[in-house]
Structure 1
Amino acid sequence: MFRGLRLIPAMIDICRDVERLCPDAWVINYSNPMTAICRALRKVTNVKIVGLCTAGYLPRQIARQMEIDEARIDVISAGVNHCMWAFKIMVDGVDATEQWKELIREKQGGDYYRSSVEMLDILDVWPMPGANHVAEFFPYFYGPGDDGRDDGRYPYRSGHDFDERLVKDAERRTKLKAQGEGTEELGAPPADESASEAIKILLSIWNNSRTRHYANVENNGSVPNLPPEAIVEIPVIADGSGVRALDVGPLPESVVGYVRSRTSFFELLAEAAIQRSKKIALQCLLNDTNTLSIVHARECIEEMFEVQKEFLPGFE
């Protein structure tokens, strides 16, 4: 949440420059929290924006699981960034969903995917992009086990050691800072598949060549049981007219409540950043299913605003 409160005002400033200098340009966002950033920019700017993350790997991942060529796969999926659900798998135009589910249960029952398989068994849809990402939205998979003990069933149960991660990333961050300041050359781009997805989309827009992708865009009825203004991660078409969402139909009732809750969280986060409001930030935190105490939520808000006040000017 606080990452969003820090980043959204900066992203709005960038997009104000885009509006002024290159109003026909497309903004491709990779920054997290993806959903909140894209929603905030849609609320207060007129830029054309699309968000890219790991959803583009979904057909590739499923094709590998099924040991078939990716070109034969069509995945019907929807959700929000880091909490996306695959509910129909087509192979050569034939519904192969049940076959794929059985395969998943056989192949992906290891520790890392344990929570994903449990959700598939209970909710009857497959969560994407990975167990650790999806589990952050479900308090069932963090903290002690159901019997009060940390039973070790989920290897990411204790979360991430961000202090350790910051130390490991120190060299990379120093290099990125130097590149941003122009004191070090950019060099070759990283070998990242998500970066190539952006290039494919831009080429499709430029050449008016119709291609299919997975991206974060405004819903506009593509998923009818989610708010039309929500930013959703779904299949899209890119061509000369831009990037537009495909109609995927309603999310299954077993998961749509979780996703609606996340859209509310991100709507509040976007509004808190736009209005620079501590009160709306508290509303946002209380909207999170991992928040169990109003007292602790208030304390968290006050402490985080205090330690980050240099980066959060103007919040009241």
Structure 2
Amino acid sequence: MSKGIKIATIGGGSSYTPELVEGFIKRYESLPIRELWLVDIPEGEEKLNIVGGLAKRMIKEAGLPIKVHLTLDRREALKDADFVTTQFRVGLLEARAKDERIPLKYGVIGQETNGPGGLFKGLRTIPVILDIIKDMEELCPNAWLINFTNPAGMVTEAVLRHSNWRKIVGLCNVPVGIKMGIADQLGVEVERIHVDFAGLNHMVYGLNIYLDGELYTDQYIDHLTSSDGSSGTMRNIADLKWEPDFIKALRAIPCPYHRYYYKTDEMFAEEKKAADTEGTRAEVVKKLEKELFELYKDQALSIKPPQLEQRGGAYYSDAACNLIDSIYNDRKDIQPVNTMNNGAIASIPDESAVEINSVITKDGPKPIAIGDLPVATRGLVQQIKSFERVAAEAAVTGDYQTALLAMTINPLVPSDSVAKEILDEMLVAHKEHLPQFL
């Protein structure tokens, strides 16, 4: 790879791309990118050209010799790539809005990666990811696939179970956000904090917290429960406070998405209220994106605009670029990623995807074994893993009954009859993007 690195970003017209480009610029000394290919589909061509123009201006401003290519030809972009990043949304934000609105009619949370919405995002996304992998097997068999596309855990699970591709890492900004939040709450530099992360994507727990290398879990939980009861959240998740006694009993730090499982009724009420007033998160993001792309069009703009942080994907670029840098340079540092379990969590099958701290090497992540999850967290994690596995199978086979089974075993869906009603309506609503179910 001495000739320089080729990176292909699928979903290159995403509003997040400037953050990724900023991350690559910051790391150019250790990550000498020669070519960055931004790929999109015809419906995303206008956004691709706008974002691509900003990416070129950012690189020019930085004075770096990175060549940016914009294309609708995925195969051209993949040829001889060293890293492939995926950040696409099948059906665009319109599909996300359906995922969020339809379940609400049935008294069920509508959310991008949890419950019925997460199932349908997986059903739309997994066939496309597997198709990309077929191209990669032919055109860049030595490349690493770094997937940010949600639901990242289910997508990684599908690749591990339904393809022969093993050079995949799923990535999420949630663990990074948790760590930054802890440092912020304690008023210390983030480098002084270490968190033992283990679980699944959007169901990861901070099992132990260290400050300056010393175990600090109990002190942090005391701090957390004596202050505002919040372990922080994200722009797309209501900041409902945790019950202090619950957190003390759990003796672990839940992630923001755990609110959907531990505070289901309150979260449903929040989502319903938001949908009825300012709109679902997809509808809010659509307005935000419109403003962002107007900013991106400005020929005088040559940096990532601060308004991008309103979008909700903070720390993605650092997580993604750190991961690529660590694989490329064989850094052997520790990062939380979605990867094959390989015995790291005792109660999850070895071949399944888990989100866990891993040593990042040139041969990919090596998950750090934790033994097993605490009994209080284990059952919910296993239930969601069952959901992910059955959902991935439904995505690959297009089998109606398998999709119904996945919907019903998800803990956010109250019964098989409600599951069937939601499934039937969503299959019709997303028909265009679910050819395997025809």
Q: State the TM-score, normalizing by the size of structure 1.
A: 0.84
Change (3 A) 1:154 1:119: farther
**Contact (CA 8 Å) 2:345, 2:373: kept in 1 or not?**
yes
1:83 and 1:156, CA in 2 relative to 1: closer, same or farther beyond 3 A? farther
Map 1:147-166 → 2, pairs under 5 A:
156=270, 158=272, 161=275, 163-166=279-282
* SS of the residue 1:137 aligns to: helix
Which residue in the other structure is 2:251 paired with? 124
- Bigger mean CA offset, 291-300 vs 160-169: 160-169
Aligned to 1:24: 142
Kept in 2, the 8 Å contact 1:205–1:242? The answer is yes
Contact kept? 2:160, 2:353, Cα under 8 Å:
no
Shift of the 155–62 alpha-carbon distance from structure 1 to 2, 3 Å rule, reads farther
- Paired residues, what number? 297
Please state how far the C-alpha of 1:9 moved relative to its aligned partner: 0.7
Q: Shift of the alpha carbon at 1:56?
A: 2.3
Q: Which deviates further from its counterpart, 236-245 or 283-292?
A: 236-245
Cα deviation for residue 106 of structure 1 reads 1.8
Residue ranges of structure 2 left out of the alignment (5+ in a row): 1-118, 231-237, 294-301
Question: What 5-or-longer segments of structure 1 have no aligned partner?
Answer: 145-152, 178-186
Counterpart amino acid of 2:132?
Answer: I
- 1: CA distance, partners of 2:198 / 2:321: 23
Task: Report the counterpart of residue 137 of structure 1 in structure 2.
Answer: 261
User: In structure 2, what is the equivalent of residue 59 of structure 1?
Assistant: 179
More displaced 10-residue stretch of structure 1: 166-175 or 215-224: 166-175
Q: Which amino acid aligns with 1:315?
A: F
Query: 1:41-73: per-residue Cα shift (whole Å, max 9, x none)?
Result: 111221411111121233322222222232222
- Give the aligned residue type for 2:258: V
User: Which one-letter code corresponds to 1:123 in the other structure?
Assistant: L
SS across alignment from 1:279: helix
Matched, 1:69 2:189: yes
Give the percent of matched residue pairs that are identical in Structure 1 and Structure 2: 28
CA distance in 2, matches of 1:159, 1:90: 38
CA distance in 1, matches of 2:170, 2:433: 24
Match of 2:224 among 65, 88, 104: 104
Verify the 8 A CA contact 2:122 2:391 in the aligned structure 1: yes
Question: Is the Cα–Cα contact under 8 Å of residues 222 and 245 in structure 1 kept in the other structure?
Answer: yes
Deviates most, 160-169 or 266-275: 160-169
Supply the distance in 2 between the matched residues of 1:287 and 1:176 (Cα, whole angstroms).
38
Q: TM-score, normalised by structure 2?
A: 0.62
The 1:175/1:22 distance shift into structure 2, 3 A limit, reads farther
Structure 2 CA distance for partners of 1:311 and 1:265, relative to 1, 3 Å: same
Give how far 1:157 is off: 6.0
Distance in 2 (CA, whole Å) between partners of 1:159 and 1:36 is: 29
1:157–1:307: structure 2 CA closer, same or farther, 3 Å change rule? closer
